[in-house]
Structure 1
Amino acid sequence: MSKFSVRAGVAGDVAAVIGLQRATAEAPHWSDAEYAAAIGCGEGYVRRRLFVAEADGAVIGFAVGKLAGDLAELESVAVDLRMRRGGIGRALCEAVIAWCRGERAASVDLEVRAASGGAIGLYRGLGFAPVGRRQAYYSGPADDAVLMRLDLFESA
């Protein structure tokens, strides 16, 4: 695989992000407007930030972080199926975590399918710990959600 880089998303990335999320069954399927709203992070109490990974000029992954006051959430991470297991997902998560830390969030939360062992392993490797479970949270296929949290003060 060629080298990749991670950067904040720009308006020109939205079409590629939409294409990638449509090709990724486990990614949340948001509208173009929702991804566009995550560009530039915005002002106010609730803010989102889109990060993209690219290689050879193509978007190969993305992540979205959300802040509400001092609480943060890693809302979405998706990597092109052909590019997985190469550190892209980890780099995207690290970008979201760094943004949240820079915005003085106390912690970062996420939810992940219980059957997604690889993703759970990635999140544990980043310092996230399970803090709860939502029974039958996902559909198509049905699955529980594992709730995980990274305390940013302890992980600094």
Structure 2
Amino acid sequence: MTEEARFRIRPLEGPDVDRLAEIAAGLEQAPQWPRSVYDSLLENAGRERIVLVAEDHGSGFVAGFVVARLIPPEAELESIAVAGEFQRRGVARELFSALAGVLGRTGVGEIMLEVRAGSGAALGLYRSLGFTEEGRRRGYYADPVEDAVLMRLPLK
């Protein structure tokens, strides 16, 4: 079985919320949202946001997640996070591919995002997915102060 086939991409479910918060807390570059935001993801999933998780077929363990806010005819990629032990196995790519499919079916024609300029791994992933830089917000992030790179990808 290939690494990619080890993961099942599915919508967020109630028991997943704790795991999402745990994954993000373990990643320096992930948004450090308060617990109330994770709870609201479940409440708003499918309406205001699309939230998908990657579940390991063998263990049933949630390896990562993706969150996009719907702003028709666009969507904003708010977070894509993969637990450290599952990184570099294609999980983020699978999550994004599934997200793009869902967004395309809802009539969204374009995905936008912002990412820290110093987040080389994230920038590399987004560029490999076809995102292009369209601007910067100087000094947008704090602790440390960094630019936000604005990126966009048309869905085909």
Confirm or deny a common fold (TM above 0.5): yes
Residue of structure 2 equivalent to 1:135: 138
Residue 100 (structure 1) aligned to one of 92, 98, 103: 103
TM superposition shift of 1:128: 0.8
Q: 2:88 aligns with which of 82, 85, 89?
A: 85
Counterpart residue number, 2:35: 32
Amino acid at match of 2:41: A
2:71 corresponds in structure 1 to 68
2:118 is the alignment partner of 1:115: yes
Structure 1 Cα separation of the partners of residues 83 and 90 of structure 2 = 12
Q: What is the one-letter code of the residue matched to 1:124? A: R
Q: 2:23 aligns with which of 15, 20, 24?
A: 20
1:126 counterpart = 2:150: no
The whole-number CA distance in structure 1 between the counterparts of 2:50 and 2:41 is 5
Deviations 1:46-94 (A, max 9, x none): x112111122111111110110221211100111112211101111122
Contact kept in structure 1, 2:12 and 2:45, CA below 8 Å: no
Judging by fraction of residues, say which structure has more helix: 2
Q: Give the unaligned 5+ runs of structure 1.
A: none
8 Å Cα contact 2:9/2:95 also seen in 1? yes
**CA displacement 1:23-67 (0-9 Å, x = unmatched):** 112111223332233236344xxx112111122111111110110
Query: Distance in 2 between the 1:4 and 1:106 partners?
Result: 26
> Mean Cα displacement is larger for which, 26-35 or 13-22?
26-35
Runs of 4+, deviation exceeding 3 Å: none
- How far does the alpha carbon of each residue in 1:3-32 deviate from its partner, in whole angstroms, 9 at most, with x for none? 222211111100111111111121112233
* Unaligned ranges ≥5, structure 2: none
Provide closer, same or farther for how the CA distance between residues 84 and 42 of structure 1 changes in structure 2, counting only shifts above 3 A: closer
TM-score (norm 1): 0.87
Instruction: Determine what percentage of the aligned residue pairs are the same residue.
Output: 40
> How far apart are the structure 2 equivalents of 1:104 and 1:119?
26
Question: Which moves more between the two structures, 90-99 or 61-70?
Answer: 90-99
CA RMSD, Structure 1 to Structure 2 (Å):
1.8
Structure 1 residue 98 displacement after superposition = 1.6
1:6 aligns with 2:4: no
**Matched AA of 2:103:** C
